[in-house]
A and B are shown apart, each in its own frame.
Chain A
Amino acid sequence: MAVLLIAEVTGGTLGADSTAKALSAARALGDVTVLVAGTGVDGAAAEAASFEGVAKVLAADDAAYGNGLAEPLADLILSLAPSYSHILAPATSAAKNVMPRVAALLDVMVISEITAVVDADTFERPIYAGNAVQTVKSADATKVATVRTATFEATGKGGSAPVETIAATGDKGLSSWVEDKVAASDRPELTSARIVVSGGRGIGSEENFAMIEQLADKLGAAVGASRAAVDSGYAPNDWQVGQTGKVVAPQLYIAVGISGAIQHLAGMKDSKVIVAINKDEEAPIFQVADYGLVGDLFTLVPELTGKL
């Protein structure tokens, strides 16, 4: 069987971590061809070709693919689809935008956010904000799926697949890019960071969130937030960890002032080690935490930052 894996590409750069994790799911299904679509993707294509187990890389370099617009990218994927039994992509916001469109154009169901590959037709995926896991078997000719990367190990480097340049399939001009507002940061990316420090409603204000950032910087960690903290304006939207935000599975997750609503747990419960700091010893977060510290976070967090 042949698998087409749509690589994560942002501004010409390969999203190496998410692509390498989705590759692990793809390799379980057959020979993997990686599609690298964007502008200025030579470097990204070469990097994709260096992952183990990649049979071929297809590079599509065109302005139409530079900003993740769904319509032209869906048409490109559709033109390649007849050669593949499976079309997979890491479940990034860009892939969640385009993959259902691809599936509908192929008249197949999309299988969103798979967490395990059972066999060529059968996959596990979380439903109800992670409160249940469904095993589904697809009867469709082509399986179109997004991969929840947090549950797969990254495939290592060591391959040297050929890179083939392919032509763009045009742009009908249905949509156009206006601007991106991306926060510049030296911190690691939230979904691939080894350590994540997250703050919740208990932090109390945007100013107090600096305390979370200081602890994160001391640990070389990414910063996350609960939905309550984001909705209260303490932290920007793209820091949100949870069912409707990002799903993370770092080696260490430190939850500060987070009560542990189900929606938040769905986004971090696969973390290897969870630490919870909260003044309420009955908070549900302690039911999933490996190490719980009950007390005033305004005393404990600076103390922790100082002693590390």
Chain B
Amino acid sequence: MKVLVPVKRVIDYNVKVRVKADGSGVDLANVKMSMNPFDEIAVEAAIRLREAGTATEVVVVSIGVKQAQETLRTALAMGADRAILVEAASDVHQDIEPLAVAKILKGVVEAEQPGLVICGKQAIDNDMNATGQMLSALLGWSQATFASDLAIEGDAAIVTREVDGGMQTIRVTMPTIVTVDLRMNEPRYASLPNIMKAKKKPLEEKSAADFGVDVTPRLTVVKTSEPAGRKAGVKVGSVDELIVKLKDEAGVI
């Protein structure tokens, strides 16, 4: 079984996000970019399936700017077998919406015929939490979102999901789309020899037009602003003082 893993190039998890003064967006020029952390978990899950003999090949795909090649090389260094770059934007500030991404991925799925697609549950830039579900809808496949555990049993996958109030286990027919949550696994670091090897692994380049997909956004960004700040309050000297403040000043207990 072939496993397809879409990965997104996003601002690095540890970088402080700065809103541009003109309100046009978040400043991504000369900022460290990395693989979306949820996608790293998805890549790791796919590699583990191959290592266990359940999957035969792990193909990673990224949709966005040309620089997403670096993200794909990271996935290859982790252990993915082959990569596909779908160039859909020339400016790093242009985010391709989940609907357009899902349409392109549908084309990739039709060409590659994977038995399983594993995605991160959301990208940490636009926080949409939508691509996996949308791809599943467009393909008419089953979906298992927010997964913390995944087991393949013949023509079905048994997936444990993180839901409000606890965990839910469902059985989905294959082929299927699984979106992974934080606790699925801990992604490995790519070793130096594997980073060198990854440079020789195949990376195919395509464009959004190859899949006949119009990536014009449906949502126009009117403005991007700083969130309303909170002012730091006061330090209290003792538990007694805290209780007095909460009772008399704030009136919350």
Contact = CB atoms under 8 A, between A and B. Distances in A.
The answer to whether A and B come from one shared complex is yes
A264 interface: no
A112 interface: yes
Interface size of A as a range: 35 or more
A105 B182 CA distance: 27
Interface string A131-155: 1111111111000000000000000
B129 A112 contact: yes
B21 interface: no
Nearest to A115: B227
Interface residues of B, number: 75
Contacts of A227: 182
B130 interface: yes
A127 interface: yes
B126 A238 contact: no
A109 interface: yes
Given A97-B133, A136-B219, A291-B246, A175 B182 contact: no
Interface string B83-113: 0000000000000011100100000000000
A292 B164 contact: no
A69 B144 CA distance: 9
Given A68-B163, A93-B146, A178 B171 contact: yes
B133 A237 contact: no
Given A101-B136, A104-B134, A174 B169 contact: no
B209 interface: no
B interface majority secondary structure? mixed
A134 B233 CA distance: 27
Contacts of B16: 131
Given A128-B127, A173-B173, A288 B232 contact: yes
Interface stretch (A20-28, A50-58, A268-276): A268-276
Given A97-B146, A136-B220, A292 B169 contact: no
Contacts of A307: 239-240, 243
A225 interface: no
A interface majority secondary structure? mixed
B142 interface: yes
Nearest to A236: B166
Given A132-B227, A293-B239, A109 B99 contact: yes
Nearest to A252: B252
A219 interface: yes
Nearest to B137: A104
5 smallest beta-carbon distances between A and B, as pairs: A290-B233, A100-B130, A104-B134, A174-B142, A100-B133
Interface of B: 11, 16-17, 19, 26, 97-99, 102, 124-138, 141-146, 148, 158, 161-173, 181-183, 217-227, 230, 232-236, 238-240, 242-243, 245-246, 250, 252-253
27 contacts: A10-B164, A67-B170, A70-B133, A92-B164, A94-B163, A99-B133, A102-B137, A103-B130, A108-B99, A110-B130, A127-B224, A129-B127, A130-B227, A131-B17, A132-B226, A136-B219, A138-B220, A174-B142, A181-B167, A182-B166, A236-B166, A238-B164, A246-B164, A272-B252, A293-B236, A304-B243, A308-B253
Interface of A: 10, 67-71, 74, 92-94, 96-105, 107-113, 122, 125-140, 173-183, 189, 191, 195, 219, 227, 231, 236-238, 243-244, 246, 251-252, 269, 272-275, 281, 286-294, 300, 303-304, 307-308
